Amino acid sequence: METRIKAVIFDLDGVITDTAEYHFLAWKRLADEEGIPFNRQDNEALRGVSRRESLRLLLKGKSVTELEAEQLMERKNSYYVDMLDQITPDDLLPGVVDLLDQLDAASVLYAIASASRNSRRVAKQLGILDRLAVLVDGASVTRQKPAPDLFRRAAALLDCPPHACLVVEDAAAGIEAGLAAGMACLALGPAERFAAVAAERGSFARRDDLQDVALDEILAVRAWDAGWTIAQSGFDPRTQRHMETVFTVGNGYFCSRGSLEESYPNDHPLTLAHGVFDDMPISVTELANLPGWLDLALTVDGERFRLDRGQVLDFQRHVDLRRGLLRRDVRWQSPSGVVLDLTFERFASYTQEHLGALRLLITPVNRACRVEVQTGIDGHVANDDLLHWRHGDQGATDGAIWLRSRTRHSGLDLAAAAAIGVPAEAVTSIVQCPGQPRFAVVQELDAGQTLWVDKLVSYSTSRDPGAGEADVLTRALAALDGQSYDDLRSAQIGAWASLWDECDVIIEGDDEAQVAVRFYLFQLLIAAPQHDEFVSMGAKSLSGLGYRGHVFWDTEIFILPFFMFTQPEMARNMLMYRYHTLPGARHKAAANGFSGAQYAWESAATGEEVTPRWVPSFDGQELVRIWTGDIEVHITSDVAYAIHQYWQVTGDDAFLRDYGAEMIFEGACFWGDRAEPETDEHGQRRYALRDVIGPDEYHDHVDNNIYTNRMAQWHLQLAFAVLEWLDVYAPNKAAALRDQLDLSPVRLAHWQDVIAHIIINHDPDTGLLLQFDGFFERERIDPAVIAATDKSMQVVLGIEGANASQVLKQADAIMLLCLLRDEYDAKTWQTNWNTYMPITDHQYGSSLGPSFHAWAACEMDKPDEAYGHFMLAAKADLYDVRGNAGDGIHAASAGGIWQALVFGFAGLRLDGADLTLNPRLPSHWTRLAFNVRIHGEKRGVDIQKGGKAIAEHR
């Protein structure tokens, strides 16, 4: 998003002229007369704020009456005014005249917006009053800096959208106000003056003064940091569902898609919370869309604001990844001609995870008008057309409105509550429509006057961890108590700063890759359960209804490594979900005639299999049988792999002892039964895994899929290693599990036999890992045809046609090589790469493949080839390259991108409690840096192009 600066708004004191010194001398004189200590350091806090706030700060807690305060302010002002007679054009600060000349030559409008009520007089004495397009002063607005009202009034009078304005300020409060107004900002003065604002509010430029400033520098300042911002310029209804996914925000408890607060035809608003499942046809169960907290209706002079009505004069939207804030700026003209500048900002609080926060700023541009905002909780929600909620009572309590609901089938109770903050002059009331309690806010606004509405909403459910005996409504109301938008926002920014300190990945030399990586890590972080070990992350995170919120192997193999190395507690929560759903996995194994635990291909609340057996075909004309829930069995080994990897990375012995070992052994019991004994053509004993689906889902009902067989073998080998470890370090637990799971000598001997004789189709001479039995006997497809297709090869060939062909949704052999990368030689890597990459449907096959293909290419010292696969993964959701981003984020691809960076380009490997690096950066990257935690210790990795790779303790 590139927005050229169209207008510049200058503060006066300290920017245009040094009247700030006169203010200091006037305040100093007043303080001396009152016997109050006051120095230049004290004066720093007075920069840019109103006269009344300055007096409050100067008094340092001394109590005065309203009359005394007025008299003190008048005395100070008289001292200041007396000094103003000294001002001449010679008092313009260095660089000001030259900059104004440059702005005039470029036809860029400029204004002064100052809290000083003497600014017009000062501008006249400086000789610049007639050059200004607009001048607004402290008498123009009620709320002063750091509120945005003064600058938004200036923008309205300039007839310029706020985001196209540049504020030039020398005070921290002024920069804060400019950023709150949605404007680009240039701070003048020492960096330490603006340090707190820089940490909390957003991105802005800084220089010491305006001397020698060039116009290009001024016009290049932006209201966002490109490396941390996903932005949209202009609204296109055709891409709204895609953009809703991209602009999803959340906090690990709930996520909300980036739908418009005021709604739009055919939009897809969703707020999804972990674990809130309800029954549905075909897909068995799904996350239920929560009552909507973004519910908002705005009317101006009786006309409803929506983007499909009136005229959209300007539209900008961006998510600040660094701070977890979503912002939208709209200039809209009503059918009757009223022009409004509207700013929406919202976030899901990362520190108070039951809370969402929304702020709306409304500024009439061209004339006075009457505005009404109705906002509350919308209980009239559905998953597409399926209703999941029965609403109970609703009401208002202590200034909050609320609604109670219950899922129709699963019986989960939910309470949603909301509170608002508005100006004192606004008229508020409560409107209790059935299933939709709302606040109504009405105010008459002059042109340039800003109405602000802050809204907080809380959710509470009966399945919340640690809920205790408290009623859901009691908890929802309590969550709002004492909270404010600004306090939550400040805490939000601090929390995300800490998160990024642990999780950020820095890429230098590639701006597109940099912001894409941060986008995907952000999407993972907002969907990871912070405090709940009974839920996990679905394949579409919490960003859409794709896969209905079900948990797949995506979590363990693709997503969890990022969390293991950066946020291990969150990784542990998601692994504990697998422990708590062991009963469901045991039930599935028993139903299929096996002992132990067979994890569901698609899992929801209980771990029971929830993969739909039938779904509509591509054209919707018939039902298609889905076999993954029946025979895609490798997920049981995938869970074991994640448990082992977590243990390696964290050194969490207690987890392995108390939970992980049991899951590994239960899965091993399943594999011991699932492996089919048979004899080969030479009469030799062997074990087969027949009638399975591997990760390559273009082929079903195959035998001895290389990934499935080798990972089953690896799982059984792991079971022995863990049992040996338990015997040494937790003998009582080892004995208990041997007894509980019947890990008898006979069973263990059988496992050893399976390990020794399971079919692993690996040709030692060529290194080829056979995809599955008979793969190369299927019809060959010209690789050029696969590369040139503009749709999935399964669509091109049909389900049966793809099944009968040598075309892969993803290369199982490459996936296996990555997971067990130290067990295969270079010849095996190269042979399988050369064999399977040309016949893989990279563009429209599995979204899981490209990131691992990038990792694999790095293992073979092909970083530039790896980069092509990496960017294919990085663009999947941002550019909607597969045409399905509207269904939600490809969470596995997001996690795989991190693995491609860390395991692939950086070449990180674990060496006990240490790490090694083997960097292979793309030719145009100059730096790759990130942090990891290994056995609880933070390590910083910094790889410079042509320099030494550093892994230091932090």
3-state secondary structure of 8: strand
In 20-137, the DSSP E strands lie at 109-113, 134-136
- Residue 443 bridge partners (DSSP): 371
Residue 211 DSSP class:
T
Task: Specify burial of residue 947 (Cβ count, 10 A radius: 0-12, 13-18, 19+).
Answer: exposed
**156: amino acid identity, one letter:** A
Read off the tokens for 64: 């005065």
Distance CA 322, CA 661 (A): 38
Task: Kindly report the backbone phi and psi dihedral angles of residue 444, in degrees, each rounded to the nearest multiple of 5, phi listed first.
Answer: -85, 125
> Between the CA of residue 830 and those of 132, 212, 771, 923, what are the distances in Å?
69, 58, 15, 21
Task: Kindly report the backbone phi and psi dihedral angles of residue 222, in degrees, each rounded to the nearest multiple of 5, phi listed first.
Answer: -120, 155
Specify the pairing of strand 205-207 against strand 184-188.
parallel
In the chain, the N- to C-terminal Cα span, in Å, equals 36
- Please say if 697 is a catalytic residue: yes
Q: Is the peptide bond before 146 cis (omega within 30 degrees of 0)?
A: yes
What's the gap between Cα 146 and its chain centre?
A: 28
| Residue whose structure tokens are 């959340």 | 250
Distance CA 175, CA 212 (A): 21
CB atoms within 10 A of CB 470: 13
Distance CA 261, CA 300 (A): 16
Q: Which residues neighbour 461 within 8 Å (Cβ) at sequence distance 6 or greater? A: 273, 275, 276, 412, 413, 414, 415, 467, 472
280 and 295 Cβ atoms separated by less than 8 Å:
no
Task: Specify burial of residue 281 (Cβ count, 10 A radius: 0-12, 13-18, 19+).
Answer: exposed
Helix and strand element counts for the chain (H, E):
32, 37
DSSP of 900-949 = IIIIIIS--EEETTEEE------TT--EEEEEEEETTEEEEEEEETTS-E
Q: Which runs of consecutive H residues, i.e. helices, occur in 223-283?
A: 240-246
Q: What is the 3-state secondary structure (H, E, C) of 51-78?
A: HHHHHHHHHCCCCCCHHHHHHHHHHHHH
Given 261, 286, 697, 865, which residue is catalytic?
Answer: 697
> Between the CA of residue 524 and those of 332, 631, 798, 895, 933, what are the distances in Å?
34, 29, 33, 7, 18
Read off the tokens for 885: 């981003």
Q: Which residues neighbour 37 within 8 Å (Cβ) at sequence distance 6 or greater? A: 31
What's the gap between Cα 248 and its chain centre?
A: 7
| Residue whose structure tokens are 């892994």 | 951
- Residue 183: which H helix or E strand, with range? none
Q: Which residues neighbour 555 within 8 Å (Cβ) at sequence distance 6 or greater? A: 536, 537, 538, 539, 574, 642, 891, 892
Catalytic residues: 697
